[in-house]
Chains A and B, each alone.
Chain A
Amino acid sequence: MSALSNSNWDRRNVLRAAMGLAAAGGLAACGGNNGRGGGSGSGTNLTQYFHAYGEAGTEQAIKKYAKAYDKANVTTQWITSADFESKLFATLLTDNAPDLFEFHPQIQMVKSGQVADLTDILNPVKDDFNPADIQSHTVDGKIYGVRMIDDPQFFFYRKSMLEKAGVDVPTTLDELMEAAAKLTTGKVKGLYVGNDLHSVNDTLIWSAGAQHLNEKNEIAYHTDGVVEGLKKMRKLFTSGDLLLGAPTESWDPSSFNQGLCAIQFCGMWAMPAIQDALGDDWGVFPFPKVTDSGKQSVYNGGWSMFVNAKGKNVEAAKEYVKWLWIDQKEYQEEWATSFGFHIPPRTSIAEKATKLKSGNAAEGVRLFNEFGHFDNIGWTQAMRTAFEDVFANCVRKNMNPEAALDKCDAAVNRELKKLFG
């Protein structure tokens, strides 16, 4: 007879056992969440949020850096890309908000006091940073974030496919449309810019010779050039030459690597994966100019580290940001060039990054320097969403571009009024 069956497990015992287990679980939880395993560190606990990078080894690298820091216990939350923004914004309203997090410079975070002023840690090294990166993080002379990586985004093309179809690298949107038509065959589509096309929203504006907002923070995207560009994008969308419904979005090079398309819009981070899959049979070019008054453009995206101004350990978090993203140049170079390719925002590191000095990587850096546009800190998430609706409504759903832009204007003006009065 088993010992268990002989036991007198009445409801009191069951209740006591359950309470004991709950208490033990609680105690265990108290000691667990430091991400270090050894229990070392000063006793200060910091939490950092990262979106899930697609390149293998990135999560391990971030955790390795955190573990190497000996003045605080740094825990990393690695959040699925699609959920990152919503989880970050929701958590920032609570006591469980991270002490530091990566995101893009946006003025509403400054105005609402969500991000801490990092001017004091950046000022001594400001001149070593890309000036545009500093400017895109500055409000009223204060710098609110430290750029970790710059991510230029442009078109990747298969050299052999273009040669076979007798197509030159496009420099205008019309040429891109013609190329897409010539490159479309039974199994391969000419062009892929993502299923929702949102990855080219910004470049379309710049390539049409416009800006998102002007210096007075007024609408500057509603121009004839942009309207023309939207009409052309609609034509492209309905041409049958665009890859639609791909299993992965445009930030992932799988569609290009698997031969589903001849040209794909993607970011420089994808270069190592593309090199592995296609060897040297590929090149890059910027988003072509939309009209004669426009100019080819590249979106210089990227990620920056911010400190939660309402966190419990603001000073400790700033210290960690300084240690990792300002002092630890070796880690910064590794982070920028050992997984996907990114451009280090620090000039001294970028100059030494040998992996970016040859081949398509060097070409990517050239496009970044020659055609690149950085984030406008006044262009907020709500405005971004409003302009995404323009693409959804007029390019994919055939709404009149003027009407779609008018609708966007109303939403953007509402935001501008609330932010700037």
Chain B
Amino acid sequence: MSTTKTRDVARPAPAKASSAKPRRGLRGSPTFNFWLFTGPFLIGLAIFVYAPILWSLWLSFFEARFTVTPDKFVGFENYKYMLTNDDFVGSLGTFTLFAAFIVPTTWALSLGLALLVNRLRFMRAFFRSVFFLPTACSYVAASLIWKMSIFSGVRFGLMNTILSWFGIENIAWLADPNPPWYWLVIVTARLWLQAGFYMILFIAALQNIPGELYEAAAIDGAKPGWQTFWYITLPQLRATSTAVILLLLVAAYQAFDEFFNLLSKTTWGRPPLVELYYKALGESQDYGSGSAGAVILTVLICAVTLLQGKFMGFGRGEESK
């Protein structure tokens, strides 16, 4: 005979939270926690980013030579000076072209590296680290290695040594602008320094693409390789690609370190920041004109970024899936 024994099952104890009185004060407040964690960051941002930007805006309307607390208001005089300065305007044009080249190149290289590394079955972590390591290198250090070792203009520079094997004369890579070999030096340095970082972003995005998509595509007859990449991988990377291109654009306009160190005091290949440094800040101490140039540059970066966002649909990544 089977008996059914009703077991006395102890009722679960009520959750502690339900019996405890709600915490009083701010510590339990999500708002407090939000400010606790973001507050220090925001304070830093306000002090070190927003205050200088506002100060710079203010300075741009004053004659601020050898001082950052000027008292002579000049209205838009500094803007007029910078916008009629062909070197500064020229640098903006040059760097729009530079951005138009370096952004897609870096995008393609980092995506290519990500695809290669992601496919690896062995030593993936090793190769990921190898490609990412240059990101940790200082732009200044890399520039000096490029300038003094790889692209030195003398016979024992690495590139000139290689060229000498083929009977080619030494090339002054950075000292002579005709032909403009300096772009080769700058572009290779920039690609080496940047590609690894964006590769990591693409690897993360690639690993988020559901495998079912590829399986479904295979069932539907899609050939692996170019077809799968074009119709599945690339569309799935749209949000990441947009963000990467945005970051690359801003980085291109904000370029300073490698140009300053590689080209020194030339009048060519000067990005806007280096141009501003020589023309209006730094040694010349014309902080009014420098600030006006900085505001113009900021407006330009914002405009290009917004245009790019509108064109590529920044923030619409989710909807596009």
Choose from B67, B155, B264 the contact partner of A195 (Cβ within 8 Å): B264
Are B148's CB and A196's CB within 8 A? no
- How would residues 380 to 395 of chain A score, 1 for a CB under 8 Å from any chain B CB and 0 otherwise? 0110010011001100
Q: Is A79 part of the contact surface with B, judged by Cβ < 8 Å?
A: no
Interface: A278 (CB within 8 A): no
Chain A residues, CB < 8 A from B175? 195-196, 244-245, 396
Q: B267 in the interface, Cβ–Cβ < 8 Å?
A: yes
Measured CB to CB, the nearest residue on chain B to A247 is B148
> Which single member of B176, B268, B284 contacts A244 (CB below 8 Å)?
B176
Q: Is B80 positioned at the interface, with any CB of A under 8 Å from its CB?
A: no
Residues of A within 8 A of B152 (CB): 245-247
- Residue A89 interfacial (CB < 8 Å): yes
**With A and B bound together, what is the CA distance between A324 and B4 in angstroms?**
105
Q: Is the CB of B153 within 8 A of A245?
A: yes
Query: Is there an interface contact between B268 and A112, defined as CB atoms closer than 8 Å?
Result: no
Known: A195-B175, A196-B266. A246 touches B154 (CB 8 A): yes
Given A93-B68, A385-B284, A397-B178; A392-B265 close (CB under 8 Å): yes
> Once the chains bind, are B173 and A245 in contact (CB under 8 Å)?
yes
Q: Closest residue of chain B to A89, judged by CB?
A: B285
Closest to B149 in A: A247
Interface contact B283-A396, CB-CB below 8 Å = no
* A389–B175 CA distance with the chains assembled, in angstroms: 14
User: Can you identify 13 A-B contacts, CB atoms within 8 angstroms?
Assistant: A93-B68, A108-B65, A112-B67, A114-B66, A243-B154, A245-B152, A245-B173, A245-B176, A246-B154, A260-B154, A381-B284, A389-B267, A392-B267
Q: If the complex has contacts A93-B68, A114-B66, are A382 and B157 also in contact, measured as CB distance less than 8 A?
A: no
Inter-chain CA distance A381–B277, complex, in Å, is: 13
Q: Is the CB of B157 within 8 A of A396?
A: no
B residues touching A (Cβ–Cβ < 8 Å)? 63, 65-68, 87, 147-148, 151-155, 157, 170-178, 264-268, 277-278, 282-286
Between A and B, how many residue pairs show CB distances below 8 Å? 89
Closest to A237 in B: B176
Chain B CB within 10 Å — which of A187, A247, A260, A381 has the most? A247
9 shortest A-B CB distances, which residue pairs? A245-B153, A244-B172, A112-B66, A244-B175, A245-B172, A382-B284, A381-B283, A392-B267, A247-B148
Of the four ranges (under 10, 10 to 19, 20 to 34, 35 or more), the interface on chain A belongs to: 20 to 34
- In chain A, positions 357-406 with a C-beta closer than 8 Å to chain B are 381-382, 385, 388-389, 392-393, 396-398
Contacting A196 at CB < 8 Å: which of B66, B87, B147, B265? B265
CB neighbours of A393 from chain B (8 A): 267
A93 to B66, CA, bound (A): 8
Q: Contact string, A283-314, partner B, CB cutoff 8 A, digits 1/0?
A: 00000000000000000000000000000000
- Pick the residue among B67, B147, B267, B286 that contacts A382 (CB under 8 A): B286
Partner of A398, one of B67, B68, B178: B178
Contact present for A85 and B267 (CB under 8 Å): no
Residues of B within 8 A of A245 (CB): 151-154, 157, 170-176
Chain A positions within 8 Å of B, measured between CB atoms, are 85-86, 89-90, 93, 108-109, 111-112, 114, 187, 195-196, 198, 237, 243-247, 260, 381-382, 385, 388-389, 392-393, 396-398, 418
Please tell me if the beta carbons of B282 and A396 are within 8 angstroms of each other in the complex: no
Choose one: A109, A112, A396; the contact of B177 (CB below 8 Å). Answer: A396
A392 near B266 (CB under 8 angstroms)? yes
B282→A198 contact, CB < 8 A: no
Cβ–Cβ < 8 Å partners of B282 in chain A: 85-86, 89-90
Separation of A388 and B284 alpha carbons in the complex (Å): 13
A381 / chain B contacts, CB cutoff of 8 Å: 283-285
> Which one of A93, A187, A382, A397 lies within 8 Å of B283 (CB-CB)?
A382
For A389, the chain B residues whose CB sits under 8 A away are 87, 267
Contact in complex: A388, B177 (CB < 8 Å) = no
- Whether A246 touches B284, Cβ cut-off 8 Å, given contacts A388-B265, A397-B268, is no
> Which residues of chain A are near B174, meaning CB under 8 Å?
195, 245
Q: Give Cα A389–Cα B283 distance, bound, in whole angstroms.
A: 14
Report which of A244, A246, A418 forms a contact with B65, defined as CB distance below 8 A.
Answer: A418
CA distance A90 to B266 in the complex (A): 22
Bound-complex Cα distance A392 to B275 (A): 14
A385–B177 alpha-carbon span in the complex (Å): 19
Residues of chain A within 8 A (CB-CB) of B176 are 237, 244-245, 396
Chain B residues within an 8 Å CB radius of A388:
265
The residue of chain B having its C-beta at the shortest distance from the C-beta of A419 within the complex is B65
Using Cβ atoms and an 8 Å threshold, which residues of chain A touch B170?
245
CB-based contact B153/A385 at 8 Å: no
- List, in ascending order, chain A residues with CB within 8 A of B284's CB: 381-382, 385
- B185 nearest CB across to chain A (Å): 10
Q: Nearest-CB distance from B227 to chain A (Å)?
A: 47
- Since A111-B66, A245-B173 are in contact, a sample of 18 more A-B pairs with Cβ atoms closer than 8 Å, ordered by chain A residue number, is A89-B282, A93-B66, A93-B68, A196-B175, A196-B265, A243-B153, A243-B154, A244-B176, A245-B152, A245-B172, A246-B152, A247-B148, A381-B284, A385-B283, A389-B87, A392-B267, A393-B267, A396-B266
A112 with B264, Cβ < 8 A, contacts A245-B175, A385-B278 known:
no
A196 to B172, CA, bound (A): 12
By beta carbon, the residue of chain B nearest A86 is: B282
A334–B154 Cα distance when bound, in Å, is 36
Name the CB-closest residue of B to A111. Answer: B66
**Which residues of the partner chain A approach B266 to less than 8 Å between Cβ atoms?**
196, 392, 396
Residues of B within 8 A of A385 (CB): 265, 278, 283-284
Specify which chain A residues have a CB less than 8 angstroms from the CB of B277 in the assembled complex: 86
Residues of B within 8 A of A418 (CB): 63, 65
Give B183 Cβ to nearest chain A Cβ, in Å: 15
Compute how far the CA of A245 lies from the CA of B157 in the bound complex, rounded to whole angstroms: 9
Cα–Cα, bound, A381→B284 (Å): 6
Most buried by A among B67, B87, B148, B283: B283
Contact between A397 and B177, CB atoms less than 8 A apart: yes
Using CB atoms, name the residue of chain B closest to A112.
Answer: B66
